[in-house]
Amino acid sequence: MPTHLLLLDNNVPIQLIPLLRPHEATHASTAGWAALSNGNLIREAHRAEFTAIVTCDQNIQHQQNLAGYALAFVVLTTTHWATIRDNVAGLLAAIEAATPGSYATVNLPRPTLRRRPYLPV
């Protein structure tokens, strides 16, 4: 199993990093790239020789030209930390199957909505 050098986009919870081992993961904010737009972030990741980007931006393939980059893109369908944490096995499987230029969506269950109790005024 090859290990990947992963860049986590700003919209991915930073707490995910230790769960991605043996892959080496860096969050965009800790790399000093918190203010970069998607296009600039992709270019910087390519220059820094990351092998994959993990993002929660489900429209990235429509917003950016991903062709020409030797980066794999792994897209999560939610930013909800507990949902990602509880389903990390699917994410790891997608990362391990990633190849240069590939694009994979990890479909995660929708978080359960919790209603606030009704408080009469």
Enter the tokens of residue 36. Answer: 């970069």
CA–CA dist 16, 84 (Å, integer):
8
Instruction: Spell out the domain ranges in the chain.
Output: 5-106
pLDDT in tens, 46-80: 999 999 999 998 888 777 767 778 899 999 999 99
Model confidence, pTM: 0.86
Read off the pLDDT band of 111 (50, 70, 90).
confident
CA–CA dist 31, 34 (Å, integer):
8
Q: Go through 73-104 and write b for each residue having 16 or more CB atoms within 10 A of its CB, e for each that does not.
A: bbbbebbbeebbeebeeebbebbeebeeeeeb
pLDDT in tens, 38-52: 889 999 999 999 999
CA–CA dist 92, 64 (Å, integer):
24
Mean pLDDT taken over the chain: 90
**Residue 103: strand pairing partners:** 73
